[in-house]
Amino acid sequence: MTVRHDGLQVSWLGYATVRVETPGGFVAYLDPGRYGTLTGEWTPLAGEPNGHPPSREYDARDGDLVCVTHDHHYDSDGVERVASEDATVVVYEGVDADRIDRDVTPVADLPYDVRRVDDEARLALDGVDVRSVPAHNEPDGPHSRPDGSVSHPPGFGCGFRLALGGTSVFWPGDTDALPVHEAVETSLLVANIAGSVVMDRHEAADLAEAMDPDLVLPVHYNTIDLLRADSAAFAADVAGRGVPVVLDER
């Protein structure tokens, strides 16, 4: 299924992978790959139908822009499956292949125009404005462990706001709902609702209400057991607050 919003065609391809295409044919990807979602190896979670897109052998290589938020979402094979030969790949500066317990190509060795950014960057690329935004778990927040440690500490990752095709898309990344997010003006909020180590559906609904976008699209749920979420309940909650919401489920 493809969601159409303000001229954009937006597709959730699984896990955190989102494809955005403008009316002019510019294609951007957010956090492509991992868990077999783009290689046909992912299998649905046991239990009730969970709405996650089915995996497939995806090798489009049509992306003009690819953005990667942090180590957990860095999959060099996924990047190569979506990026065109002359793509610009924007990667958070903290992504480090040596720290990742998977077989990935170092970011510096990717065969593209690679830009490393911090969590307060702004780039103008082929008429697309790319802004990075802080993304982390607060040490004293709802997703901290008893010892105060977190899965996504400050400085570990970022989110991205893309202004393209006359509108805007915001993907917060793996993070708590932070006050800085509420100030981001966006037409489409791509919401992370997985809970456990990121904002859950209740926190994401609160964020959606505070941001008041034109549309909310939840992603990054029901890929693995850790990321189980009730997307229908999230959609009902957000809609009940007067914010339009859509599910891109198969």
Specify the DSSP class assigned to residue 160: E
Is 169 inside a domain boundary? yes
Q: Evaluate whether residue 132 is within a structural domain.
A: yes
In a domain, 245, yes or no: no
Convert the pLDDT of each residue in 207-233 to its tens digit: 999 999 999 999 999 999 999 999 999
Q: Is residue 35 part of a domain?
A: yes
Q: How confident is the model at residue 25 (pLDDT cuts 50, 70, 90)?
A: very high
Is residue 68 one of the residues assigned to a domain? yes
In a domain, 249, yes or no: no
Whichever domain contains 44, its CATH number is 3.60.15.10
Q: Which domain holds residue 26?
A: 3-240
Q: Which residues make Cβ contacts (< 8 Å) with residue 191, sequence separation at least 6?
A: 172, 204, 207, 208, 216, 217, 218, 219, 234
Alpha carbon 208 to its chain's center? 15
Does the residue 160 lie in any domain?
yes
Give the total number of structural domains in the chain. Answer: 1
| Model confidence pLDDT, tens digit, residues 61-97 | 999 999 999 999 999 999 999 999 999 999 999 999 9
